[in-house]
Amino acid sequence: MKYDYQQLKEESVYEGFLKIKRHWVQHASFHGGQCEPILRERLEDLSAVSVLLYDPDRDQVVLVEQFRVGLMGQVDPPWALETVSGFCDRAHEVPEEVARREVHEETGCELLTLTQIGSFFVSPGISDEQIHLFCGRVDAGAAGGVHGLAEEGEEMRVLVMPREEAASELFGRLCSTSIVIAMQWLQANRESLLDHWG
């Protein structure tokens, strides 16, 4: 099968904090030929950076806790423990630079080393969002307080947790994509990461 598709038409549906476009698409069929045209809405122009902060000397992770609108009516209370994260302008920003900026803005920590974990798409059925995931070395002894940019409606509390305690909270208090993937990666790759960091 040739993986061909054709965008027949697109239109902007909404532009606010998020952008939504409507796409009319026809694509190749596994049975041969083409499927019937389909209509889909998609969240557009989303790229983000996410950083799991880790102190190997203390064997602790540094997380941020903040209110999340997507958790309203799903989790009580709707606050999440997460990695440091922020949007990345695909056309004008390098993910590593965004990672360094967001770590400072959201935690006040100094990023000592930054290691790329990988990139992934969050929900390709409805969005083009791609997350660039990193693990960053910090001194957890200097972590704490409430941070974020007020003009962006941010308020996040910094929490320090032993690595094993954080791992035991996966799919519980730690339940969003980036933190689940990053913590599982850290658990599986800790020894090689420590060798890499020296």
In the chain the domains, ranked by start, together with CATH numbers, are 5-44 (no CATH), 47-197 (3.90.79.10)
Q: Are 167 and 183 in contact (CB under 8 A)?
A: yes
User: What is the model's pLDDT at position 13?
Assistant: 96
User: What is the model's pLDDT at position 149?
Assistant: 83
pTM for the predicted model, two decimal places: 0.92
- 164 as an active site residue: the answer is no
Q: Are 127 and 48 in contact (CB under 8 A)?
A: no
Q: Of 152, 154, 155, 191, which residue is the catalytic one?
A: 152
pLDDT by 10-residue block (mean), the chain, 198 residues: 94 95 97 96 95 98 96 94 93 92 93 97 95 97 89 90 98 95 98 95
Q: Give the pairing type, strands 47-55 and 146-147.
A: unpaired
Cα dist from 53 to 110, 118, 177, whole Å:
10, 15, 16
Of 16, 5, 89, 74, the residue nearest 40 (C-alpha): 5
